[in-house]
């Protein structure tokens, strides 16, 4: 005895069907994790790009941008279609931002140095070389809100690595009604157009009046501080060029050569 075939239930709109939806028992697609290197590179690149206009932070900005560039390159390779991470667009954006930041810092520094050189030609201070330790030159910045007086520029004790140094003594006066941010002015010391590195001294051998990190302290309104900075000499006989300027504007730049002999 035979039975008629069991009718197959078909999906009908508005009626329940026993036929499982297509793909219900298939394997769910795997979502790749977002590359942490791409995220880190993007954050560092944006930070460095936002700060590139501050000349006093140029070394820190360059380091951040270089690190972001390296991370971005690795992230690009890490997010290829056959790799285990996603975020290729973010990695490429990070690479572009960090590269532009490096170019902006280097280009901005070149323009800054050129502007200072031109401004120094019209400065009220003579650009001629003077005897070390025998000058007292004054420059006004920020429309007179800041007065910086060069007290001494003279050869000093060796740094902690035994390298010869030059000590620059400045008197900084805040003529404003609010505290003076240490990044409001810019000081550069160079020899033969090459900027000198800051010196690091040992506790028992350092220039008179030198205090580490004193250049990071704010100057209270209406007060003056004496700042002693040390720099590693590249040449024991070449004159030292001192440049002082406002971080943002270049209205009254100061540039002068000081002989160490």
Q: Which tokens is 94 given?
A: 């990070």
Per-residue pLDDT tens for 15-62? 555 555 555 555 566 778 888 888 998 898 888 888 776 666 777 888
- Region class of 177: left (phi > 0), else alpha (psi between -120 and 50), else beta: alpha
- Residue 237 has, within 13 A of its CA and on its CB side, a CA count of 0
pLDDT surpasses 50 at 249:
yes
Q: CA angle at residue 258 from 256 to 261, to 5 degrees?
A: 165
Contacts 24+ apart (CB under 8 A), 90-97: 90/34, 90/35, 90/38, 90/39, 90/42, 91/35, 91/37, 91/38, 91/41, 93/42, 94/38, 94/41, 94/42, 94/44, 94/45, 94/68, 95/41, 95/69, 97/42, 97/45, 97/46, 97/49, 97/68
> CA-to-CA distance for 106 and 96, rounded, in angstroms?
16
> CA-to-CA distance for 123 and 231, rounded, in angstroms?
25
Q: Which of 187, 205, 195 lies closest to 146 in space, CA to CA?
A: 187
Q: Confidence class of residue 258 from pLDDT cuts 50, 70 and 90?
A: very high
> CA-to-CA distance for 131 and 260, rounded, in angstroms?
7
User: What pLDDT, on a 0 to 100 scale, did the predictor assign at position 126?
Assistant: 36
- Report helix, strand or coil for 194: strand
pLDDT surpasses 80 at 12:
no
Of all residues in the chain, the percent with pLDDT exceeding 90 is 21
Question: Contact, 195 vs 254, CB < 8 A?
Answer: no
CATH architecture assigned to 130-259: Sandwich (2.60)
Q: Confidence class of residue 124 from pLDDT cuts 50, 70 and 90?
A: very low
Residue 6 backbone phi and psi in degrees, to 5: -70, 125
Per-residue pLDDT tens for 146-167? 899 999 999 999 998 899 999 9
Q: Confidence class of residue 122 from pLDDT cuts 50, 70 and 90?
A: very low
Q: Which tokens is 14 given?
A: 């508005």
Q: Which of 254, 151, 164 lies closest to 209 in space, CA to CA?
A: 151
User: What pLDDT, on a 0 to 100 scale, did the predictor assign at position 149?
Assistant: 92
User: What pLDDT, on a 0 to 100 scale, did the predictor assign at position 94?
Assistant: 85
SS3 content of the chain, % helix, strand, coil (to 5): 30, 25, 45
Residue 42 backbone phi and psi in degrees, to 5: -65, -45
Residue 219 bridge partners (DSSP)? 180
Per-residue pLDDT tens for 214-238? 888 889 999 999 999 999 999 888 9
> CA-to-CA distance for 191 and 185, rounded, in angstroms?
20
Per-residue pLDDT tens for 64-118? 888 989 998 998 888 888 888 888 888 898 889 888 888 877 766 555 555 444 4
Residues of the chain with CATH 2.60.40.1240: 130-259
Q: What is the mean pLDDT of residues 176-203?
A: 87
- Report helix, strand or coil for 136: coil
């Amino acid at each position: 005895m035979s039975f008629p075939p069991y009718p197959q239930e078909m999906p009908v709109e508005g009626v329940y069907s026993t036929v499982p939806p297509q793909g219900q028992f298939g394997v769910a697609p795997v979502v790749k994790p977002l590359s942490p290197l791409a995220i880190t590179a993007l954050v560092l690149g944006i930070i460095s790009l936002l700060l590139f206009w501050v000349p006093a932070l140029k070394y820190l900005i360059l380091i951040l941008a270089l690190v972001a560039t390296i991370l971005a390159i690795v992230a690009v390779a890490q997010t290829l279609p056959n790799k285990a991470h996603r975020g290729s667009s973010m990695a490429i954006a990070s690479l572009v931002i960090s590269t532009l930041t490096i170019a902006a810092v280097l280009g901005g520094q070149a323009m800054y140095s050129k502007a200072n050189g031109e401004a120094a030609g019209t400065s009220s201070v003579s650009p001629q070389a003077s005897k070390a330790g025998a000058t007292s030159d004054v420059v006004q910045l920020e429309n007179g809100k800041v007065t910086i007086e060069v007290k001494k520029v003279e050869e000093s004790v060796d740094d902690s690595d035994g390298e010869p140094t030059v000590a620059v003594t400045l008197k900084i006066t805040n003529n404003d009604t609010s505290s003076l941010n240490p990044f409001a002015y810019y000081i550069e010391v160079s020899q033969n157009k090459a900027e000198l590195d800051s010196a690091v001294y040992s506790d028992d051998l350092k220039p008179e009046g030198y205090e580490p990190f004193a250049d990071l302290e704010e100057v209270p309104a209406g007060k003056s501080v004496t700042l002693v900075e040390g720099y590693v000499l590249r040449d024991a006989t070449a004159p030292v060029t001192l440049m002082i300027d406002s971080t943002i504007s270049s209205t009254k730049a100061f540039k002068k050569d000081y002989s160490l002999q």
